[in-house]
């Protein structure tokens, strides 16, 4: 039988053949079982002949210099710029997707820019970015490309950041996170019903990933929960989520509660009121979590970092702008000497809140 031509494709990892002739993708818990020529739910992985392929290697929907606080990462080289890019497709189907033009894109609609891993790493150095972020759509589904880009970045001293929903299989996660210096993982809600109804995913799989990254890797971890009015913003659910983070991951993992805006297939909900984000932050802090933030609103009090020992303000922050610095050269509180978890330098970067699209030479 002739195999289907998907255009430019590379062999995909993490799959096996089934007795009935289909091929099962093991990259994420969906375990798509495919006949010749079929694509998985993520659209970008497909069966070609006897194997799985990735159809988006080396192609991107665009490159942009962003503030690292936008990922969001508040404890990883604050104030620096990060060269950000994504591809197309996603392995979740969130009705509230805030990046649906990319995640729902069919590859050829959007992937206009071509770039080798080495070209991306060189562009990061040239532009002064301290890190490269795999973001906009979930990098798990383009693992082979992300891992190669990460290796090229590390060769030239550029760090790597994954922005992901953490919905991937056990076999793939060790390779994926070994390549990442930092990750912001979405914890989209705290009930199986939320994940099943709104994302067709599973909460347990994401909790497994969070525990794995915290306890079995060197990847710096922060968590984001987008609060959607009436869906995942009850005080009980926020308390349960925060208690889980405190008990299973510990007090030093930063937790971001960010504001939803109506998008994609969820146009019937209002934007998250700032008071909801502030309430969530208070609930989470009461469980003992040290670094809890509000996001997508102006709230300098809720976006600054405070010393867990003496409550001095360590990093002033207003949305993506650094407004104050109270850490010493060791990344400890300049007032009392208590360490703040994360990766800090003697001074913050000066990138500010800018967003600057860039074009990368293909080779
Ligand atoms: S990565 Fe894509 S093809 Fe593989 S199981 Fe997940 S959705 Fe299916």
Radius of gyration of the chain, Cα coordinates, nearest whole angstrom? 20
Low-confidence ranges of the chain (pLDDT < 70): 1-8, 101-111, 362-363
122 lines ligand 1 (CB under 6 A): no
Does 41 sit in the ligand 1 pocket, CB within 6 Å? yes
pLDDT computed for residue 361 by the predictor: 72
Residue 46 near ligand 1, beta carbon < 6 Å: no
52 Cα nearest atom in ligand 1? 3
pLDDT tens digits for 230-273? 999 999 999 999 999 999 999 999 999 999 988 777 788 889 99
For residue 266, the model assigns a pLDDT of 75
Q: CA 188, CA 209: separation in Å to the nearest integer?
A: 13
pLDDT for res 136: 87
What is the per-residue pLDDT for 104?
A: 62
Q: Whose CA is nearest to atom 2 of ligand 1?
A: 42
Could you report the per-residue pLDDT of 289-336, keeping only the tens digit for each? 999 999 999 999 999 999 999 999 999 999 999 999 999 999 999 999
**Residue of 39, 42, 104, 171 to mutate, ligand 1, most atoms within 8 A of C-beta:** 42
pLDDT, residue 360, reads 86
Beta bridge mates, 184:
163, 222
Residue 188: DSSP 8-state: -
Q: 251-254 — which CB contacts under 8 Å span 24+ positions?
A: 251/288, 251/289, 251/290, 251/308, 252/290, 252/291, 252/341, 253/214, 253/221, 253/222, 253/223, 253/289, 253/291, 254/74, 254/75, 254/222, 254/223, 254/291, 254/292, 254/293, 254/342
């Amino acid at each position: 039988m002739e195999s289907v031509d998907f255009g430019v494709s590379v062999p995909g990892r993490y799959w096996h053949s089934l007795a009935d002739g289909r091929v099962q993708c093991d990259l994420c818990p969906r375990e798509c079982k495919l006949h010749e020529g079929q694509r998985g739910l993520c659209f970008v992985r497909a069966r070609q002949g006897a194997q799985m392929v990735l159809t988006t290697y080396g192609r991107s929907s665009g490159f942009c210099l962003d503030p690292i606080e936008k990922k969001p990462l508040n404890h990883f080289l604050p104030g620096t710029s990060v060269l950000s890019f994504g591809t197309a497709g996603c392995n979740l189907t969130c009705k509230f997707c805030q990046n649906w033009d990319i995640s729902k894109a069919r590859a050829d609609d959007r992937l206009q820019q071509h770039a080798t891993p080495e070209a991306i790493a060189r562009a990061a150095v040239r532009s002064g970015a301290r890190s490269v972020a795999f973001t906009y759509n979930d990098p798990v589904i383009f693992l082979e490309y992300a891992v190669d880009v990460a290796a090229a970045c590390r060769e030239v001293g550029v760090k790597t950041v994954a922005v992901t929903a953490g919905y991937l299989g056990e076999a793939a996660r060790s390779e994926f996170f070994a390549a990442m210096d930092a990750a912001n993982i979405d914890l989209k809600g705290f009930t199986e019903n939320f994940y099943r109804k709104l994302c067709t995913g599973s909460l347990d799989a994401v909790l497994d990933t969070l525990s794995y990254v915290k306890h079995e890797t060197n990847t710096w971890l922060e968590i984001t929960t987008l609060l959607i009015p009436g869906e995942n913003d009850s005080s009980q659910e926020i308390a349960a989520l925060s208690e889980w983070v405190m008990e299973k991951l510990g007090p030093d993992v930063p937790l971001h509660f960010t504001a939803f805006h109506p998008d994609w297939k969820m146009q019937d909900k209002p934007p998250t009121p700032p008071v909801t984000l502030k309430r969530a932050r208070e609930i989470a802090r009461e469980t003992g979590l040290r670094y809890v933030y509000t996001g997508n609103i102006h709230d300098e009090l809720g976006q600054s970092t405070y010393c867990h020992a003496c409550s001095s303000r360590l990093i002033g922050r207003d949305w993506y702008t650094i407004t104050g610095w109270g850490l010493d050269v060791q990344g400890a509180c300049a007032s009392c000497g208590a360490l703040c978890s994360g990766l800090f330098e003697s001074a913050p970067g000066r990138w500010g809140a800018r967003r600057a699209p860039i074009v990368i030479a293909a080779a």
